[in-house]
Amino acid sequence: MKRMIIQGGNRLSGEVTIGGAKNSTVALIPAAILADTPVEFDTVPDILDVHNLMIILESMNVKSSFTHGFLEIDPTQIIEAELPSKAIKSLRASYYFMGALLGRFHRATLTFPGGDNIGPRPIDQHLKAFKALGASVSENNGTVHLDAPNGLHGTRIFLDMVSVGATINTILASVRAEGTTVIENAAKEPEIIDLATFLNNMGAQIRGAGTDTIRITGVDTLQSMNTHTIIADRIESGTYLAMAAAVGDGVMVHNVIPEHLESFTSKMIEMGVDLQIDSDKIYVPRVKHLKAIHVKTMPFPGFATDLQQPLTPLMSLAEGDSTVVDTIYPKRVKHIPELQKMGMKIEAHDGMIVIKHTDHLHGAEVTAGEIRAGASLTIAGLMAEGTTVINNAGNILRGYDRIVWKLNRLGAKVSIEDDSSVKI
């Protein structure tokens, strides 16, 4: 078990550069197996999810190499094989291999994916789409079997709820299907546009990504001609912006896409943070006074569910009561009892999280129940007096590119240890 050790009380200053988007990367890597040529990605975040996806690729005889943000994948010798259940269960995004394998081989067998436990996230919309494209679907003892012996055929699919995962999986399954597929009520997230850009550059015909109606005309082959640079991670960006406002003396955040962060930065500005927003960077000055705000998470372009937890420590510094209503994952509350251990005045009731002004946080031994809860605890640990030990720190490393190195460059004192004997 990995633990993150944080010596609190150090103010942060300097510059930090945001990595490629995790939520793009975990879809792009499975998408690579649809190609008939090797593919290359740049600005790939160095996170555990990438290494787990590479293990899954290896099980299919797909060679990959990852160095300094550059990932090469060669699917030209791909074979059908049983995928390693441990790696599959380590991250939820492994379910994108369902759509990718179905698109490549017209069949797939996967155990149910794992990942963060933040409440029910059913894959019924994914399976509905696969059935509409012509695949039979069966489930047995936690394993999903997909089979389309007559191939996949374009059709019109209306998603009953806006789902990023179902939208991406439908694109992956239909990009090489016969005919035209229309996805209605599609998710609009930037990561979907990034995936469509990658596939279109290989010869796919995808139109409407970023809107609620996406049209995919199937093609026979996909061939990579250029390196695909992954978009900046808007969740990592928001996390560092909140961190800089909470414990910073002036931090410049580089490689951001401000248009992807408008719902988040507008809330920070509403709180009283004087953000200086440029075309690809944002400067966060030292903050002296904050006002309480009310946050309601929504599908993009609304306030991202992944950013409600990283913003929580900053909200605890505001005068008055701030509130969060998460309409995407109402059960996303694992951070609350852990923050309470550190002295934060926070509670959840009737589907609402209430954060009261808290003057003082103290170090404690806490547990990162999932990625964004871990980000929240990391920021709180930087704010707290004394030492904070975060158990299950692997969850943080799953989603944040070289986080310890980046924090220490800003002036924090953070380390990762495997020794289970570490005590406060």
Active site residues: 116
Q: What tokens appear for 409 in the block?
A: 């460059």
For residues 121 and 128, give the distance between their C-alpha atoms in angstroms, rounded to a whole number. 15
* 53 Cβ contact list (under 8 Å, min separation 6): 26, 29, 30, 87, 91, 93, 94
| Cβ-contact 127, 144 below 8 angstroms | yes
Can you say which residues are annotated as belonging to the binding site? 22-23, 92, 121-125, 306, 328
Alpha carbon dihedral 374, 379, 384, 388, in 10-degree steps, equals 30
For residues 218 and 205, give the distance between their C-alpha atoms in angstroms, rounded to a whole number. 7
Can you say which residues are annotated as belonging to the binding site for phosphoenolpyruvate? 22-23
3-state secondary structure of 321: coil
Q: What tokens appear for 271 in the block?
A: 């709180």
How many C-alpha atoms does 7 have within 13 Å on its Cβ side? Answer: 7
CA distances from 170 to 22, 159, 184, 207, 254 (A): 19, 10, 11, 14, 33
Can you say which residues are annotated as belonging to the binding site for UDP-N-acetyl-alpha-D-glucosamine? 92, 121-125, 306, 328
Q: What tokens appear for 37 in the block?
A: 């040529």
| Cβ-contact 390, 373 below 8 angstroms | no
Alpha carbon dihedral 186, 191, 196, 201, in 10-degree steps, equals 170
Rg (CA), the chain: 21
Alpha carbon dihedral 121, 300, 46, 342, in 10-degree steps, equals -70
